[in-house]
Structure 1
């Protein structure tokens, strides 16, 4: 400790991810109790979450290879997706279905496809920005909170009846996400307030 100040090293708080996980399992339990649980859907949901997590981790890892440019990374990802998409069309027999599609020459169809592509590109770009300036874990937590909020809004919109524990599980996820956001904000504020080691060294030397 130099100059009367202590550097703070952020330590991940395991309580907030634990709260998110507990909320998830409680929600699964309540869906099973109501007879609406699909184990196949749950399995694919877990696999999807795993893929999202790996994507965030590798995005953070490869950013230095493109000089931290989200534009370049998003462009490369879209080019790779287009190339990988073509063999899937052939393997799954979708090419024949595409050739016989009645709306293939429709301007409305291509307009909607173009609009969807633009939104997809924008989502990919914003996702890359979030991972770049925060962390893969922060990106995953925010994604979990978004999905949970969408579920709650859908239940309210369709006026479905859910149990108290079901609501509790969703509040645990949203509360855990909020707590994580607060903790990360506090850690980043501490890092900004504390001087760097080089600044401490200069001040001690009177430079």
Structure 2
């Protein structure tokens, strides 16, 4: 009876959720890029502030709405269960941040373009189920788009067109995709456990902050932060601190937007919004950072997006129930929604 009384979302609600999701995702990418441009030696500090701020915000929300935002301390046994998944997830997040730091904003989505094929491959190995032929075709389309994007004529840094993008930037992107794919499949165990999503988000962020803190020390970032504060008049500290706060808040917004998107939109709608976001991200990269867009880059983004849309159409046409959203752009969102892709691929 409850299901019958539940009203479907209106077009205005769907449009609002999609717009909110796109805006939060774009803010995350470009503010992170601006912060990393101003303070490239502080990647772990940036991530630590972001996840710690998410923990603080969830705790504050729990004070005002304890029933909706339950953030109970988790036990050692719970920490032991979620530690492997979080360790892999934070690794993907770190490599993603390194990739964004070292490549142009327009090339960033290309550098991480192998996420779908790698996820299909990892899922096939871990579930011991061969993907269907049309799923392999979607992976092949995306892979072709990636190869076009990393070809020599498009693989350069727009701030110096004669300087090739460091190979490390591309390696970071592929490493991020690989770890994110493993995280997506491993994360199925978290989703299968009957833990409220807010509690799961709180536990994950709290554990991630504990995992990141040692790297802040080992990378010597405390002294770099002190130097940045001592030279605050040059504006770099203000950019770093403000950007870290903004991305921390919007990271939490993005996770909520991802959950809302799962609730009120179809996978196809979500992926079409992702395609539109790719176009906007490319255009904004040119306007904000002066990135140079070649025909190879445009073709690459278009082919990768087309392959991902085709994959979504395949999965959605197979089953409209329990639809899955593939995280292809923003790692912050991945920690909340990527675990669901393994359920789709395992069918």
Question: In structure 2, do the counterparts of structure 1 residues 40 and 107 end up closer, same or farther at CA, with 3 Å as the change threshold?
Answer: closer
TM norm structure 1: 0.61
Give the match for residue 122 of structure 1: 253
Structure 2 residues without counterparts, runs of 5 or longer: 1-130, 323-347
Structure 2 Cα separation of the partners of residues 31 and 22 of structure 1: 14
User: Structure 1 pair 176/112, CA: closer, same or farther in 2 (3 Å)?
Assistant: closer
Evaluate the alpha carbon distance shift between residue 122 and residue 90 of structure 1 in structure 2; reply closer, same or farther with a 3 A threshold: same
1:20 corresponds in structure 2 to: 142
Whole-angstrom CA distance in 1 between matches of 2:214 and 2:291: 43
Relative distance call for 1:129 and 1:13 in structure 2 (3 A) is farther
| Aligned pair partner of 2:319 in 166, 188, 191 | 188
Q: In the alignment, which residue of structure 1 is the partner of 2:294?
A: 162
Report deviation, 1:151.
5.5
**Could you state the TM-score of these two structures normalised by the residue count of structure 2?**
0.40
Deviations 1:59-109 (A, max 9, x none): 2222223x1532122111111122123222322222344456256xx9998
Highest RCO, 1 vs 2 (Cα 8 Å, sep ≥ 6): 1
Aligned alpha-carbon RMSD (Å): 4.3
- Residue 38 of structure 1 corresponds to 166
What residue number does 1:48 align with? 176
Counterparts of 2:183 and 2:259 in 1: how far apart (Å)? Answer: 10
Q: 1:87 to 1:160 in 2, by over 3 A?
A: closer
Q: Identify the residue that residue 5 of structure 1 maps to in structure 2.
A: none
Residue 71 of structure 1 corresponds to 198
Which of 292, 308, 311 aligns to 1:177? It is 308
CA contact (8 A) 2:154 2:294 kept: no
Identify the residue that residue 208 of structure 2 maps to in structure 1.
81
Alpha-carbon distance between aligned partners in 1 of 2:259 and 2:170, rounded to the nearest angstrom: 26
Taking the aligned partners of 1:128 and 1:58, their CA distance within structure 2 comes to 19
Whichever of the two has the greater Rg, that structure is 1
Partner of 2:282: 152
Q: Distance in 1 between matches of 2:208 and 2:294?
A: 39
Structure 1 unaligned spans of 5+: 1-9, 133-137, 193-207
